[in-house]
């Protein structure tokens, strides 16, 4: 499936991945209710009036979670996206 089709599935709650990715069991999902701690130790809730409080997250079970994942041009043009 195309990236656009996969992204629509992701917006519905699915985990999406590419068949061409090297790592096993890695995927992208949407995160919400995002919070973080700044260097002063203050807890902050990530919200924005225009873009909301959601982002794409890349999950690799062996390496962790990358918040704010951005698709590369090859990811956006690929037709090997799948729903897990």
Cα–Cα distances (Å) from 53 to 22, 26, 48, 75, in that order, read 30, 23, 6, 23
- Listed in sequence order, the DSSP H helices in 12-72 are none
pLDDT by 10s per residue, the chain, length 84 = 999 999 999 999 999 999 989 888 999 999 988 888 999 999 998 887 766 788 999 999 999 999 999 999 999 999 999 999
* Spatial separation of the C-alpha atoms in residues 29 and 56, rounded to whole Å: 6
């Amino acid at each position: 499936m195309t990236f656009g089709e996969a992204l629509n599935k992701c917006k519905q709650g699915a985990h999406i991945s590419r068949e061409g990715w090297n790592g096993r069991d890695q995927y992208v999902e949407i995160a919400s209710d995002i919070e973080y701690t700044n260097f002063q130790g203050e807890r902050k809730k990530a919200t924005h009036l225009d873009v909301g409080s959601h982002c794409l997250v890349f999950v690799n079970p062996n390496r962790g979670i990358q918040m704010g994942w951005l698709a590369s041009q090859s990811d956006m043009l690929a037709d090997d996206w799948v729903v897990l």
